[in-house]
Amino acid sequence: MHFGIQNILFIIALGATGFFAFKKFSSIIRNIQRGKSLDRNNNFGQRINTLVRVALGQSKMVTRPIAGVMHIFVYVGFVVINLEILEIITDGILGTHRAFNFLGPIYNILINSFEILAVLVILGCVVFLARRNVVKLKRLNMKELLGWPRNDANIILTIEILLMSAFLTMNAADWYLSTQMNEWPHIIKNFHIEHYAHSGVQKEAFLISPWLSGWMPNNLTYVMYIERFCWWFHIIGVFGFILYLPNSKHLHILFSFPNVFYSNLEEKGKFTNLESVTNEVKAMFDPSFVPPTDGTPGRFGAKDVEDLTWKQLLDAYTCTECGRCTSSCPANQTGKLLSPRKIMMDTRDRLEEIGKGIDKDGNDFKDEKSLLHDYISPEELWACTSCNACVQACPVNIDPLSIIIDLRRYLVMEESAPPSALANVFANIENNGAPWQFSPVDRLNWATED
């Protein structure tokens, strides 16, 4: 192939994708940066270790073996087949055909592994579609997934199957053409498709696609069109996929890596200490205590997404709505309203809403809504047992519990609206030093009574 109209179109498509993707991802990063500051740059070694184990190594995925193994197929396929995208982009810009062919035997190994992985990705996606739509797994068919989230999942899986099919068909057409070169020299010459013959693609470079070549039409021109169509379909599909990602639960394919890197490395039982409260309490104990006066006194707890930390917001964008949290949540599993997955989805939806407002009205954007009440109800929050099952279950170390607690803090400390039973508990702790109404002077009675 030589540089021509196809390459000009390709460069335009590549540039447009880059431009729109940059715009959209910038706005997501801007949204995340609206969260409160939090230092997660410590313990670099331990963070890398967690990244390798949990994100790259998928260690938490395989706790559920079927989904875990299928996911590894799709994940490895995604990462490895992206090497092929580099070649496609090179070909697209320079007008070459299989530019990386010079790698020789290594190229064969690469193409073979791409082909095997493409089949495994298709297998994985078919199983995933079946789990959602045929087997109807409970956690993949809960009410918070109705509408867009469910369509989103099916769209992504379908796109992946189509992309992989196009990739294999492209290889099949290419392989078929290279095998026919000697028999149809005049056609090759007339249609200026010598590059297929010259590409030197060895037969053994294609492990899977030759099986598909039996379906190729006899007319080599059509085969060439098939090859071109699949090439374009594949790369335009990939571009579309990149632009679709920011609006999709599928964003986890990028965000899970930083999200796992910035995991909470403390014991799960350790809840954050609210410094703003510490200052108040210290001032009560010691009237001479002068609280540091940097910044305005913030809210106690979180009412809206901007009261959360950037990590909690990154968590929300990273969530792929798999629902492992919800399916291990004792409140949810006993029919309560709480679903940790919904907490994450609500956080993202609300942040996106604010982001769109800012796109329109600038940084002064304000509306009457908030994450608490308009998205997440007190009933959901008060169903939580703080057992950390959701945090443990998340394959990408998302922490829904921290958001639940921050919202509870606002309900209790700013709205003074705990459930009445808990209001009594607070009064008891304050007055008696115990959650029950026992007198503190009786605290040691157990030692002397029968």
Residues 357-386 that bind other proteins (CB under 8 A): 379, 382-386
Rounded Cα distance, 212 and 5, in Å? 29
Instruction: State in angstroms the smallest separation of the CB of 59 from other proteins.
Output: 12
| Shortest reach from residue 428's CB to other proteins, in Å | 8
Contacting residues for 244 by C-beta, under 8 A, at least 6 apart: 155, 156, 159, 250
Instruction: Select 208 or 381, whichever has its Cβ closest to other proteins.
Output: 381
401/72 Cα distance (integer angstroms): 27
Q: Which stretch binds other proteins (CB under 8 A): 117-125, 189-197, 206-214, 388-396?
A: 388-396
CB-nearer residue toward other proteins: 177 or 308: 308
Q: What is the smallest separation between the CB atom of 449 and other proteins, expressed in angstroms?
A: 8
Among positions 245-264, residues that touch other proteins (CB under 8 A) are: none
Q: Does 267 bind other proteins (CB under 8 A)?
A: yes
How far is the C-alpha of 196 from the C-alpha of 216, rounded, in Å?
15
Residue 308: both structure tokens together: 């959360």
Q: Is 412 in the site for other proteins (CB under 8 A)?
A: yes
Residues of this chain, 310-339, that bind other proteins according to CB under 8 A: 328, 330-331, 333-338
Query: Considering only residues 301, 323, 340, 395, which one is a binding residue for other proteins as defined by CB under 8 A?
Result: 301
CA atoms within 13 A on the CB side of 279: 12
SS3 327: helix
Contact flag: residue 143 with other proteins (CB under 8 A): no
Partnered with residue 36 across adjacent β-strands are 309
Phi then psi dihedrals of residue 223, to 5 deg: -60, -40
- Report d(CA 400, CA 268) in Å as an integer: 12
When asked if residue 278 is in the footprint of other proteins (CB under 8 A), the reply is yes
In angstroms, what is the minimal distance from the CB of 210 to other proteins?
46
CA separation for the pair 122, 131 (Å, rounded): 14
Instruction: Tell me if 392 contacts other proteins by CB under 8 A.
Output: yes
As a three-state string, the secondary structure of 345-413 is HHHHHHHHHHHHHHHHHCCCCCCCCCHHHHHECHHHHCCCCCCCHHHHHCCCCCCHHHHHHHHHHHHHH
Decide whether 51 or 403 has the Cβ nearer to other proteins.
403
Q: Which residues does 153 contact at the CB level (< 8 Å), separation at least 6?
A: 128, 132, 140, 145, 249, 321
Is residue 280 a contact residue for other proteins (CB under 8 A)?
yes
Q: Least distance from C-beta 414 to other proteins, angstroms?
A: 10
Q: Which stretch binds other proteins (CB under 8 A): 100-108, 139-147, 155-163, 437-445?
A: 437-445
Candidates 95-103, 269-277, 308-316, 342-350: pick the segment binding other proteins (CB under 8 A): 269-277
* Closest to other proteins by CB, 46 or 63: 63
Hey, what are 430's tokens? 């304050």
Give the nearest distance from C-beta 448 to other proteins in angstroms.
Answer: 8
Read off the amino acid at residue 124.
G
426: number of Cβ within 10 Å? 12
Determine the Cα–Cα distance for residues 410 and 416; give it in Å rounded to an integer. Answer: 8
Q: With binding defined as CB under 8 A, does residue 389 bind other proteins?
A: yes
Site for other proteins in 61-80 (CB under 8 A): 63
441 binds other proteins (CB under 8 A): yes
Rounded to whole angstroms, the Cα distance separating 245 from 240 reads 9
Q: What's the closest the beta carbon of residue 325 comes to other proteins, in angstroms? A: 13
Q: Which is nearer to other proteins, 165 or 424 (CB)?
A: 424
- Binding other proteins (rule: CB under 8 A), the pick from 15, 18, 217, 419 is 419
Q: Of 37 and 218, which CB lies nearer to other proteins in the complex structure? A: 37
* Minimum distance, C-beta of residue 299 to other proteins, in the bound complex (Å): 12
Determine which residue in the list 41, 147, 218, 266 makes contact with other proteins, applying CB under 8 A: 266
Counting contacts by CB under 8 A, is residue 440 touching other proteins?
Answer: yes
User: Where does 40-147 have alpha helices with state H?
Assistant: 44-50, 65-94, 105-133
Count helices and strands in the chain by DSSP H and E runs: 18, 0
Q: Total binding residues for other proteins by CB under 8 A?
A: 71
Residue 268 touches other proteins, criterion: CB under 8 A: yes
CB 365 to other proteins: min, Å: 28
Q: How far is the CB of 273 from other proteins (least distance, A)?
A: 4
